[in-house]
Chains A and B, each alone.
Chain A
């Protein structure tokens, strides 16, 4: 983990650290207390602002918003995985023209803010909000995923592809049967992390009036009958939204931890034997690490 930045504390340092710890905790608690005071002071905990959440209609509105968010995420995730695969295949193609076009597309869409693409589809092509949101997310995340796939394929040990070709496999077979399965396995945590980005960015739908989670929140928050419960809405929406993203992030961490214990993946990372041993491959130059 972290480099050894400090000595193992002795009794004196321990008591000093405890003092710092208490001071820091007190400062944080004071901050929390101040926020709570502000919340109470501005009347955020009055019954008028919270009872609406007991109404069935309001709950349904929130759930519908959450459902729309998840729907957009599902579409965007599937489509960007597909687009990523296509673009990665294009960038690894043997044909120069295909390679160039795909490289250009990937570089362009990665350099653009997602929101520019979403707005372009929404305003210039006058698409439905859901279509605009999903296509924007797909173009951006697909391009990023294409790079992930490509680095993954490139990182598979060269001998794997060579062995497959030596067995007489065609280049498509080499890719689909040998390289891609290993690349996806190695890149799975990165792929899932990118999907977290897609999930977070579904909230951009709010800006083009897609009826997602934040939109539902805004509707409730701007209701005068409920005394404009903006802060309660944020207090309900954020834990759910952030929690969902954290769950997906945790999945990525879990997968990567699990892989570190997986002999199949570890086997791929074993370096070449030391020169002088009699194992196969001895005396070869170590393969320089590729990007």
Chain B
């Protein structure tokens, strides 16, 4: 208990860092993933190929390798950003591949007649996708997107080893201060549970309000 009370601000900073990373990377991943899903079902072949390659490569990239390449590699091109921004970039791009796949399978669950009806009304592809199919797909992709974002929150722990202030990284300072290492890890675990349970609660609410009735 002492470990938590004595270092409340340290833990708070770490937790805040993790939450910040998670939120920004989630936004990036959702935006990119949605665009890529659009590309993957687009009538233009080169966009489809781009979307497919994006997903295939990023889904099979070890996240540590991506962090390694982004955080240590990009500065060599003269691109120097704060470490947190690099981490958001790596996490967001990585997760966007999984979001894209979730959205795409959501699009596939929408009955064919919906797209056909939209087309018969004279809607063009962006209208069919954006106004008719995606809103319906959204209802069935809430649970998979929730678990993807939970995975993102857990993956953000890697950022701590690349000079970003986040929850897992706090153990180093506590270790140097001579606190019980087991207890500091227990509180770190509690912090992560807090983050993941919050996300899952939010998505449960979303699912209750908008999910497909089964």
Contacts and interface: CB of A to CB of B under 8 A. Distances in A.
Contacts of B45: 17, 21
B62 A201 contact: yes
A2 interface: yes
B62 A3 contact: no
A21 B63 CA distance: 31
A98 to B, nearest CB: 24
A245 B60 contact: yes
Interface string B57-79: 10111111100110011001110
Size range of the chain A interface in the assembly: 35 or more
Given A2-B41, A115-B158, A206-B68, 17 more contacts: A3-B111, A3-B112, A4-B119, A13-B43, A24-B44, A24-B47, A42-B77, A44-B76, A111-B193, A113-B192, A115-B157, A124-B181, A200-B60, A237-B65, A242-B61, A245-B61, A245-B62
A207 interface: yes
Most buried by B among A1, A203, A217, A249: A203
A123 B60 CA distance: 29
Contact of B46 (A24, A112, A119, A218): A24
Nearest to A38: B77
**Interchain residue pairs A-B with the least CB separation, the first 6:** A203-B62, A203-B64, A245-B60, A113-B154, A113-B157, A200-B62
Contact of A3 (B115, B160, B171, B188): B115
Contacts, number: 144
B107 interface: yes
A113 B150 CA distance: 10
B163 interface: no
Interface in A147-196: 196
Interface of A: 1-7, 9, 13, 17, 20-21, 24-25, 28, 38, 42, 44, 111-116, 119-120, 123-124, 196, 199-204, 206-207, 214, 217-218, 221, 230-231, 234, 237-238, 241-242, 245-246, 249
A188 to B, nearest CB: 19
A134 to B, nearest CB: 16
Interface string B86-99: 00000000000000
Contacts of A28: 46, 50
B116 A4 contact: yes
Contact of B119 (A1, A2, A6): A6
A6 B63 contact: no
Q: Which of A4, A204, A214 has the most CB of B within 10 A?
A: A4
A112 B192 contact: yes
Given A4-B115, A207-B158, A214 B64 contact: yes
B155 interface: yes
Nearest to A41: B77
7 contacts: A2-B107, A4-B112, A111-B197, A196-B60, A203-B62, A207-B161, A246-B56
Contacts of B188: 116
A17 B133 CA distance: 21
B73 A230 contact: yes
Nearest to A199: B62
Nearest to A19: B44
Contacts of A9: 43
Contacts of A116: 157, 168, 185, 188-189, 192
Contacts of B63: 200, 203
A4 B181 CA distance: 57
Contacts of A114: 154
B153 to A, nearest CB: 8
A206 B46 contact: no
Contacts of A20: 44, 47
A199 B57 CA distance: 15
Most chain B CB within 10 A, of A2, A3, A42, is at A3
Contact of B125 (A6, A21, A111): A6
B46 to A, nearest CB: 5
Contacts of B47: 20-21, 24
Nearest to B193: A111
